[in-house]
Amino acid sequence: MNNNIIKLPLWETISHSFLYIIKNIKTICQICSVFLILWLINIFSGHPLLCNASKESCMTQWLPLSFAIIQYLACAVITVETIRSIVFKQNHKWFHLYLGKHHIRYIAYNVAIALMVIIPSALILMIVKSTDARNLSDFTIALLGAAFISTLIGLSIFCCRLYLVYGGAALNDRNMTFAKSYMLTKGNMLKICIGQLILTLPTILMVYIASSIYFAFTPNAYTQSLYSLWIILCYFLEATIKGSYYCHLYQFFEYMSKK
C-alpha cells in the first residue's frame, strides 16, 4: 500500500449498504427470525422493554437490565451474520442459531470501543458532579458540562476509525487490528461517522413515529405487544444495516490497501 490517503466514496458506500438489505430481505429475515423469541419473552415477563415508557410495565429492577443485555447480544449476532452473509454468500435457515468465536470477538471489540468512549467521559462527569456548584461561577459550570459533552461526542467520532475491526472479527481476519483499522481509515473519520448517522435515521424515524402513535392512546396488553414487537424489529433492522455498513467499509479499505 502506498502512503496516499484512501478516500471513501461515502454515498456509494451508504447506497450499497441500504441496497443489500432491500435486495436480500429474505436472508435478513432468516438471520433475525430466531431472535423473535425475545418478543415472547418480553410479553410473558411483563414488557421489560417498555420499562422506560411505563413504570407499570416493570416487574423487577433486574429484569429490564437482563432483557437489554440479551437484546444487545442478539443484535450483535445479527450484525455478525449479516457481515458473513455478504462476504460468504452463505445460506441461512429459519430459526437457526449458531454462536462462534467470531461472534465473541465482535462483542469484545464492540465493548472495548464503547469503553474507550465511556470511561474518559465518565471520569469528566464524576469531576463535574463532585464539584461544589456553590463555589463555582456559572461559566465554570457550563465549561465543565461542555467538556463532558465534547469528550463524549469527540471520542465517539474518533472511534469511527476503528470500525474495520468489526468486519475483521466477523470474518475471522486476525490481521485487522485497531492499529491497522486506524491506519487504513486515515482522513475518513468524519465520513465514516456521517455514514453511520445517515444509516440510523430510518430506524430513528420508525421508532419516533411508532412512539408518537403509541403514547397517543391509553396503553393496553394488545398495544403494548404490538409496540414492543415494532421496537424489537427496529433494533434488528438497525443491527443488519450496521452489519452491511461495517462490511462494506471493511471490503473497501481492504481492497484499496492492496492496490
Query: Mean pLDDT of all residues in the chain?
Result: 87
**146-166: pLDDT as tens digits:** 888 888 899 999 999 999 999
The whole-angstrom separation of Cα 102 and Cα 108 is 10
The whole-angstrom separation of Cα 149 and Cα 1 is 37
Proportion of the chain above pLDDT 90, given as a percent: 59
Buried/exposed 130-148: b ≥16 CB within 10 Å, e otherwise: eeeeeeeeeeeeeebeeeb
Q: Give the pLDDT band (50/70/90) at residue 57.
A: very low
Mean pLDDT over residues 33-45, rounded? 88
**111-148: pLDDT as tens digits:** 999 999 999 888 887 876 676 555 666 666 677 778 88
**192-231: pLDDT as tens digits:** 999 999 999 999 999 999 988 888 888 788 888 899 999 9
Nearest to 160 by CA among 139, 184, 128: 184
DSSP state of 191: H
Which grid cell sits at 123?
A: 471520569
Domain spans of the chain, in order of start? 10-257
Which grid cell sits at 166?
A: 468489526
3-state secondary structure at position 200: helix
Which grid cell sits at 190?
A: 468524519
Which grid cell sits at 199?
A: 444509516
Mean pLDDT over residues 56-72, rounded? 73
